[in-house]
Structure 1
């Protein structure tokens, strides 16, 4: 997954760690017109409007501004007081009214898309603030801002260290007030217990950022600046300790909220988050059919793997019963699970597999490869507990900086059984699959292309389904190109990862709308889609903490496949795979339906 960035204040209220990456716009960072068509009067009007929107959004969400590469507000953090929340809502309503008054039909096709994306985002922001009200029940909102405030400053060298340390000092001085806002706004009766427990575990991670990223560089400040930093650190340590006591003694024991958001809220949120023509019901229908088809493919591969092997299941008929199919696939997967890294070698393997995948993409000429490398790192502590890995690119205004492929280490307090379960799921071949998804030719490559698109607005309001769908499609690119032709166990793991994405989409709606229980969820994950207990248990937690994000992988993947099929049909024998991939990636990261409309010359809706 990508580590979605903190949104402007209203959008930050949706969910922690699930957002886009906007930019407050320096003069050269405006929404661009078509590369092939000069801006008309309406286009110029829209460009001025979108720049004003971004400027105001950055002012309201300084942490977001830092992440996207606008560093005018690096010494400030978001205001999540009741007044700050009201100002964010007023901002969204004001700009939505202005947008509705623009003659969108008079815009270039590219700006029509940007206007549609912004309209969806503004409506999403208003809905999130007024209807979903995450600020009143989701403590992750505040936790992500506190952690992101410091991590965004210290993780990348966008400015000299002394300058970043001064900004970090100013933000550390303000974080205790954010804790106060959190304690004031949250209604424990509405806070789900799983949210409270997760934030209570993550809270200390804020100090780990200070200890690992701030203090090792503190000697670069002298005199009064160093004194201010030391005092800010001391004050923050006390505030984190006091906040931890409140989390453990007040919030967790009194957290009585329902984590399932229900059918009405879910369908509304899904429509905003996906910006896709696929409905919840259509997603379920597609998923169920694809699960059946993929399991059939896995059975055929597994039979070939197990043929004449000692200990293979006695019966492997052409038309197996569900029990026979399950037994044969599981037996073949056990062979893949046996090849796994040591618990301290996961990051090393991620690095090596990324290098191998990059070499293969270059050799086969599948897509243009960016010159900049991806950097594999340990996931920061305050981000752990939601996913095992993510891709964290620099903001579109930060040029020449590293993209991180962050891998979560195995927790020190896990038992050996838990470690074994984790490494069975993230075996050697699965780490290769993960590196394809997160790095090459997945998230890292796609986002490197996207950051070249001249529209800052489109870059900061990028589509989760496009991004996640491309990463899943990247796995298919590699499989189709022969990356795993000589390794049927790799082919099996590839299908298993496809099943994971399918399960994600089904799981999300089944939990939040249909009331799926933990036992039912574990059955879907560990039996139907062959996930290990540790992976499934973690996904159960993630599905409780988030909503409408887990479907983005499968929905985007389905739309990418539909687009390619339509383009191949149009091009016929002239179809060129690399040219197709480069063209798809040249539009930034808008919802896939807009790329389809551009490429097939359809009206922009």
Structure 2
């Protein structure tokens, strides 16, 4: 299916117009032709992915579900091929600078769509792609109040009526022998979570007129039976037969990485930079740890020129003081809410960047999405004005032992939750995506760059620490640096898993020893690295790119540089790959 931004986007109205390019620039004939091409691609892509359309904010297809079978895939290939041919005939030099960027982004995407559909073929071996559409079909209709409840419930009813056929299509297209066991095991848990979505819709259905309520309840009953049938197939057919290889291998990985990053950085360059950054971060952490441990009973030695063992012991000992500050296992949301208030006040006080007024709410990750990431930002889409942003946190599973919960809370201690809140909300994803949604190009919003978005959130963590957040508490700085160390480890882990064949033991050593992660965090990341490809490096690559852009602005503007001028400026172009944002901001050739 066509790619849409990873974040969940909801729209305001099907009649909302699509606008392309920078509105202040007069369109040339070449611009007009390109904008028609771009509009046509967006429209056709949304028709091919009704669930994606709901996410973006086009509600013409809220009663439909994607066709991910042979006919739907053939339509994706046809659209991508025709769009690529038209793009190759487009005189890029005659386009406005904004449209040159959009043309480059669109070309990268249609090439990715062709490669993904024809070569990678996730529809045949990754059941999580099917589950994402099945869950998203219902979740996107219930998460936000983009339309009256009765309208959304009628759409949900229609989709529940179509879900049995969609799940049957999944069973017909998945090839159990090609499915990796980790993917099969994960989808077994996620599929069960679909029940809670249906139950929530049924509960809201009590507000419908009798005829609509009766149809909804009948659809829900049939849908839940289909979910149970699919669950039985997953457990009795897919899991036993799942023998696929979760590692992509160099050729597939490098291709996916290039499309995901849309950056000139190669896999080898990413590895070299990440290793160097890890070394520098560990040195800084040791210097802070040495100060933290002064006068502490039983503290390990902190010589000026430590051995690797001495450095490791000192940092681990200092981090223990941060781990001691942790919330109760049932109070993660409340802890994050307090952090959000504190971080927002600090950003305003320091005049770091313009703070949006869009609403943001913290809640738990829905069941059907659990098992991959600990936290994420679920932002509204470009056509969804004034709707809620959600900062979601995965709860500690009820079946975890106290020791497992303690391991998790040591990682996500009170200072760690501060850092996660900075990343996911303020001034990280929530703030950046609110700025991005103000940019007029819907094409650019639909095809937002993961490395720009994730890189900004990592860079935002640096800004807060540099500006003195939490009064430069050395324990907070240690946790901050530890989480940036995780960014480096993510990039190294991803290619080590999919290309280098790293074992679980060695992967755990990278994360728990080199990056000081707790066992539960590292175990979860090992699963995530097997389930995803080329997403974990987006944090590091984007972080590197944002740091470089900041240095470029400081050098170019000199005494005229201010944080707010730079941040408002770089966030004013949506979420394109970072090099394009810099080229637009500094008036450089688009390349």
TM-score, normalised via structure 1 length: 0.96
Decide which of 139, 146, 157 is 2:127's aligned counterpart.
Answer: 139
Please state if 1:188 is matched with 2:176.
yes
Paired with 1:20 and 1:358, the residues of 2 have a C-alpha distance of 23
The Cα shift of 1:91 comes to: 1.4
State the secondary structure of the residue aligned to 1:253. helix
**In the alignment, what sits opposite 1:545?**
531
Please state if 1:266 is matched with 2:266.
no
Q: What is the RMSD of the two structures over their aligned residues, measured on CA atoms?
A: 1.5
The Cα shift of 1:371 comes to: 1.1
Deviation string, structure 1 residues 275-334 (Cα, Å, up to 9, x no partner): 011111111111000100000000000010010111211x21011000000000000000
The Cα shift of 1:86 comes to: 1.2
Paired with 1:516 and 1:325, the residues of 2 have a C-alpha distance of 25
Alignment length (residue pairs): 591
Paired with 1:21 and 1:97, the residues of 2 have a C-alpha distance of 29
Does the 8 Å CA contact 1:511/1:543 hold for their aligned counterparts? yes
**In the alignment, what sits opposite 1:375?**
361
Deviation string, structure 1 residues 95-140 (Cα, Å, up to 9, x no partner): 1212222222110000000010000000000000001000111101
State the secondary structure of the residue aligned to 2:395. coil
Paired with 2:364 and 2:532, the residues of 1 have a C-alpha distance of 23
Deviation string, structure 1 residues 473-502 (Cα, Å, up to 9, x no partner): 000110111104441000000000000111
Please state if 1:108 is matched with 2:96.
yes
Paired with 1:56 and 1:158, the residues of 2 have a C-alpha distance of 22
The Cα shift of 1:469 comes to: 0.2
Deviation string, structure 1 residues 259-278 (Cα, Å, up to 9, x no partner): 00000000011000000111
Decide which of 202, 205, 217 is 2:190's aligned counterpart.
Answer: 202
- Of 532-541 and 98-107, deviating more is 98-107
The Cα shift of 1:10 comes to: 3.8
The Cα shift of 1:224 comes to: 2.3
The Cα shift of 1:566 comes to: 1.1
State the secondary structure of the residue aligned to 1:397. coil
Does the 8 Å CA contact 2:3/2:447 hold for their aligned counterparts? no
State the secondary structure of the residue aligned to 1:278. coil
Taking the TM superposition and a 5 Å limit, the aligned residue runs for 1:115-194 are 115-194=103-182
Taking the TM superposition and a 5 Å limit, the aligned residue runs for 1:59-458 are 59-211=47-199, 213-313=200-300, 315-458=301-444
Paired with 2:198 and 2:119, the residues of 1 have a C-alpha distance of 35
Paired with 2:190 and 2:69, the residues of 1 have a C-alpha distance of 22
Paired with 1:516 and 1:372, the residues of 2 have a C-alpha distance of 43
The Cα shift of 1:22 comes to: 10
**In the alignment, what sits opposite 2:512?**
526
TM-score, normalised via structure 2 length: 0.98
The Cα shift of 1:380 comes to: 0.6
State the secondary structure of the residue aligned to 1:406. strand
**In the alignment, what sits opposite 2:571?**
585
Please state if 1:53 is matched with 2:45.
no
Paired with 1:279 and 1:22, the residues of 2 have a C-alpha distance of 34
Paired with 1:176 and 1:28, the residues of 2 have a C-alpha distance of 31
Paired with 2:21 and 2:223, the residues of 1 have a C-alpha distance of 45
Gaps of 5+ in 1: 1-8
- Of 438-447 and 97-106, deviating more is 97-106
Does the 8 Å CA contact 1:410/1:419 hold for their aligned counterparts? yes
Paired with 1:118 and 1:32, the residues of 2 have a C-alpha distance of 12
